[in-house]
Every structure is written in structure tokens, then in C-alpha cells.
């Protein structure tokens, strides 16, 4: 049994959840807010952990099992949020199918839909400490970093935090305004966003801070030194 299963509100196996809210975060990323059908409490989780799902996808004979990272700080114990990117077919390979579970969520999961969910789990999470924190991500890999950032801010943690993110452009950039608002309100939070292919409507200084890839030289310029505790997540399919 996992640590979260042993906490108040925890459970073993699958538990039925209902989609309470479906919120677009970008042209490609949508958040899903889940509440337990039994209206019971939910166990706390560590920022960066994930939920497991057993999905009944139309046209697929066997259940599809997937995991998705929780994309918010542990909250009031009454709902969970996950944010999922719609994955198209790989570029240049028209014979390959698009992402099975991500497209199922976007096309078939609606407010009121029921999902079979495992309790939060995973060993990739924010550790306690007093060293500066660097949250480094690419694409939809920012979801655990949003969870960690929201937790640090909500917890009143005053150590320096850098949120460094790379994404193709503003069409795929989720939570951009939210992150900058946190940085504006909290002096210990710094933000740097790199767009690989900025659009004409993407404005430097407002939407992104540099163009191209996040490089080692860029990280050396931004981060305070070797004592920084770094969490990194890349874009996932």
C-alpha cells in the first residue's frame, strides 16, 4: 500500500471520480477537476505525484491504464486537478495514431463523466529543505512543476525559487499568466520562459523571455549556484 493510501481518505485499488470542471489552459492543454463520487475526503499528496487511471476507451477492447501528474498544490482534500495535453500523431508519420488516452480525455471526458482512479503515488516530488529551488520543464512536463510552485507559495516558503520553462509558442503555453502573477506577488519567485518558435502575437517580456532552446549557458546565467536544488521534467507523450 502506498503512503497516500495509508493517509486519511486514502484507498486501495480504483475509486470512482466525477469530473466537476473542464478548463482549457492553452490551445492544446486542458485541466480536469475531479471529485470522488462517494463525496469522501481525499488523501494529501506530495507535489509532483501522479494519479493512475483505468480508462474505457471506445473501440478498445481492454481497459487502457495511464498515469497523469497532479497539476496543483495539495488543497482542501475535496478535489484533484490534472492537466493533459492533446497529443497528435507524430510529425511526418501519418500512419501513426494520435495519443490514445490524451485524445480520449479531450474528446470524450466531460463534466459529469466518471473515471476509475488510483490513489496518488510516485517518487518524483518536491523534497523539504532550505536550499534554493529550480523548477525546470519543457512542454506539458510543467504539470508537476506547477504543483510544486503552487505548494511553495501556498506554504509561505521564502527560499529562492526559479521557474524555468521551454515550450513551442503561446498556443501551447499553459499556466503562463498564472506563473507570472505568482512571480509579481512573491519576490522570491523568478520566471524565465523560452519559446522555440514564437508567433507574431507572442510578445517578449510578456509571454516569453527568450527564443530558442533552454541551454546550459542560460541556466548558468539564471541560477544562483551549485547549491540549487533542481527538479526537472521534460515534455511527455
- Fold classification of 133-233 is Rossmann fold (3.40.50)
Q: What strands lie across the sheet with 133-138, from one edge to the other?
A: 210-211, 189-195, 161-167, 133-138, 229-233
**Phi-psi label, residue 124: left if phi above 0, alpha if psi -120 to 50, beta otherwise:** beta
What does the pLDDT read at residue 76? 79
Contacts of 212 (CB under 8 A, 6+ apart): 194, 196
How is the chain classified by DSSP, letter by letter? --HHHHSTT--SS-EEEEEEEEEE-SSSEEEEEEEETT--------TT-EEEEEE--TT-SSPEEEEEEB-S---SSS-EEEEEE---PPTT-TTSPPPHHHHHHHHH--TT-EEEEEEEE-S--PPP-SS-EEEEEEGGGGHHHHHHHHHHHHTT--S-EEEEEEES-TTT--SHHHHHHHHHH-TTEEEEEEESS--TT--BTTTBSEES---HHHHHHHS--TT-EEEEE----
Distance CA 35, CA 82 (A): 12
Residue with cell 542560460: 218
With CA atoms as reference, report the closest residue to 9 among 144, 115, 119: 119
Residues 127-143 have pLDDT tens digits of: 888 899 999 999 999 99
- What pLDDT, on a 0 to 100 scale, did the predictor assign at position 96? 78
List, run by run, the mean pLDDT of 10-residue segments along the chain (237 residues). Answer: 66 97 98 97 95 96 97 92 93 82 97 98 93 95 98 96 98 98 97 98 97 95 69 53
Q: How confident is the model at residue 237, as a pLDDT?
A: 33
CB 43 within 8 A of CB 119: yes
pLDDT of residue 125: 96
Other residues' Cβ atoms within 10 Å of the Cβ of residue 78: 13
Which pLDDT score, from 0 to 100, does residue 6 have? 63
Residue ranges of domains in the chain: 3-121, 133-233
Predicted local confidence at residue 236, as pLDDT: 44
- Residue-wise pLDDT tens digits, 194-228: 999 999 999 999 999 999 999 999 999 999 765 45
Largest separation between any pair of C-alpha atoms in the chain? 52
What pTM, to 2 d.p., does this model score? 0.91
**Beta carbons within 8 Å of 183's beta carbon, 6+ residues apart:** 163, 189, 190, 191
The CATH-assigned architecture of domain 3-121 is: Beta Barrel (2.40)
The pair phi, psi for residue 60, each rounded to 5°, is: -110, 125
Cell numbers placing 64: 487502457
Whether 3-121 and 133-233 share one fold: the answer is: no
Amino acid at each position: 500500500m502506498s503512503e497516500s493510501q495509508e493517509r486519511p481518505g486514502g484507498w486501495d485499488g480504483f475509486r470512482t471520480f466525477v469530473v466537476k470542471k473542464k478548463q482549457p489552459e492553452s490551445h492544446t492543454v486542458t485541466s480536469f477537476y475531479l471529485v470522488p463520487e462517494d463525496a469522501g475526503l481525499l488523501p494529501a499528496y506530495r507535489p509532483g505525484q501522479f494519479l493512475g487511471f483505468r480508462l474505457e476507451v471506445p473501440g478498445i477492447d481492454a481497459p487502457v491504464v495511464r498515469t497523469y501528474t497532479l497539476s496543483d498544490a495539495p488543497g482542501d482534500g475535496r478535489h484533484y486537478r490534472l492537466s493533459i495535453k492533446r497529443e497528435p500523431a507524430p510529425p511526418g508519420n501519418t500512419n501513426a495514431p494520435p495519443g490514445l488516452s490524451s485524445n480520449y480525455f479531450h474528446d470524450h471526458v466531460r463534466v459529469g463523466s466518471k473515471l476509475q482512479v488510483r490513489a496518488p503515488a510516485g517518487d518524483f516530488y518536491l523534497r523539504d529543505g532550505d536550499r534554493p529551488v529550480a523548477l525546470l520543464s519543457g512542454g506539458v512536463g510543467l504539470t508537476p512543476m506547477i504543483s510544486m510552485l503552487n505548494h511553495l507559495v501556498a506554504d509561505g516558503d521564502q527560499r529562492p525559487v526559479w521557474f524555468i520553462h521551454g515550450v513551442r509558442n503561446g498556443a501551447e503555453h499553459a499556466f503562463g499568466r498564472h506563473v507570472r502573477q505568482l512571480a509579481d506577488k512573491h519576490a522570491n519567485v523568478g520566471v524565465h520562459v523560452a519559446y522555440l518558435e514564437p508567433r507574431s502575437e507572442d510578445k517578449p517580456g510578456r509571454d516569453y523571455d527568450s527564443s530558442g532552446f533552454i541551454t546550459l549557458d542560460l541556466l548558468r546565467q539564471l541560477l544562483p549556484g551549485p547549491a540549487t536544488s533542481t527538479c526537472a521534467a521534460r515534455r511527455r507523450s
